[in-house]
Amino acid sequence: MIQLYNYYRSSASYRVRIALHLKQIPFTYHAVNLREAKHKSEAFKAINSFQAVPYLIDGEVKISQSLAILDYLESLQPEPTLYPKDPALRAKALEIALSLICDLHPLNNLKVLNYLRENAKFNDEQIMAWMHHWFHKILAPLEEMISKNKQTRYALTNSVSIVELCLIPQLYNARRFEIDLSKYSTLKTVESICLELDAFQKALPESQPDYV
Ligand SMILES: N[C@@H](CCC(=O)N[C@@H](CS)C(=O)NCC(=O)O)C(=O)O
């Protein structure tokens, strides 16, 4: 059985949970409370020296980084696939996913916020200004890109892809930081269609055993 170390409101963990539920892969949930800094404990450091979640263990296989985990799950259980079949759409899906995983998420991550507060001495107002700046920098071009494609049910095709696995958790983070999403009607429509699906419901932060 796959072991997943994660935290209910970690957006990187949320991506992986959606994939596990979509692909109906059973897993054991291990909660790592980031708020209580359990990821920095010696016990967790011995499991994942990067001191972050998600972290997946499948027998001898041990993987950090959500994108690598998603790739592993795709190889284990190819259907339903996380990638469009068409090469151009597949590249587009990865382009969007990477803009969320690599360009946006690191800028609203706990360790970055802690650094801004503790080392750069940002106050709450400066933290919020930082958040607003970086969320809009990525969400605005995504809205523009995805709104041009009005023929499909999801962002790029008629099936869920890696795009939605990355987008929905970042919209969740955006709301946590009170980002005004009113300009992103296409992104919100994709989100509401996804949230009708069982896999997304099961992966929601509030559906997790460690949710508070
Ligand atoms: N790029 C990594 C990000 C992993 C990551 O930073 N996870 C966050 C939670 S979303 C974490 O564990 N943060 C701990 C910290 O910031 O100290 C991935 O996609 O898996």
* Whole-number Å distance between alpha carbons of 201 and 212: 17
- Look at residue 209 and give its three-state secondary structure: coil
DSSP state of 101: I
Report helix angle 185-194 to 124-147, nearest 10. 80
Q: Residue 112 belongs to a domain with what CATH number?
A: 1.20.1050.10
7 with 69, same domain: the answer is yes
What is the reported pLDDT for 58? 98
120 with 61, same domain: the answer is no
Distance 52 CA to ligand 1 centre (A): 5
Cα–Cα distance list, 96 to 47, 86, 138 (Å): 31, 15, 10
117 with 185, same domain: the answer is yes
What is the reported pLDDT for 91? 97
Q: Average pLDDT in the 3-16 region?
A: 98
Cα–Cα distance list, 204 to 23, 72, 87, 124, 210 (Å): 16, 22, 30, 27, 12
Pocket test for ligand 1, best of 6, 66, 107, 168 (most atoms within 8 A of CB): 66
* Residues facing residue 142 across a β-bridge: none
Distance 148 CA to ligand 1 centre (A): 31
98 with 71, same domain: the answer is no
115 with 74, same domain: the answer is no
Residue 162 included in any domain: yes
What is the reported pLDDT for 54? 98
Residues 6+ apart with CB under 8 A from 179: 131, 132, 135, 136, 139
**What type of residue sits at position 13?**
S
Lowest mean pLDDT among 98-107, 130-139, 149-158, 172-181: 149-158
Residue 54 included in any domain: yes
Q: Average pLDDT in the 71-76 region?
A: 98
160-174 per-position pLDDT tens digit: 999 999 999 999 999
The pTM of this model reads 0.96
DSSP state of 103: I
Strand order in the sheet with 55-58: 27-31, 2-6, 55-58, 61-64
87-124 per-position pLDDT tens digit: 999 999 999 999 999 999 999 999 999 999 999 999 99
163 with 126, same domain: the answer is yes
Confidence category of residue 150, pLDDT binned at 50, 70, 90 = confident
Distance 160 CA to ligand 1 centre (A): 23
53 with 108, same domain: the answer is no
96 with 195, same domain: the answer is yes
175 with 129, same domain: the answer is yes
Residue showing tokens 């507060």 = 117
Residue 100 included in any domain: yes
What is the reported pLDDT for 158? 96
Which range marks the domain in which residue 166 is found?
87-199
Residue 145 included in any domain: yes
What is the reported pLDDT for 178? 94
What is the reported pLDDT for 164? 98
Number of domains in the chain: 2
Nearest-10 Cα torsion for 165, 107, 175, 114: 120
39 lines ligand 1 (CB under 6 A): yes
Residue 67 included in any domain: yes
What is the reported pLDDT for 22? 98
16-71 per-position pLDDT tens digit: 999 999 999 999 999 999 999 999 999 999 999 999 999 999 999 999 999 999 99
What is the reported pLDDT for 25? 98
Residue showing tokens 């930081």 = 177
Question: How many residues comprise the chain?
Answer: 212
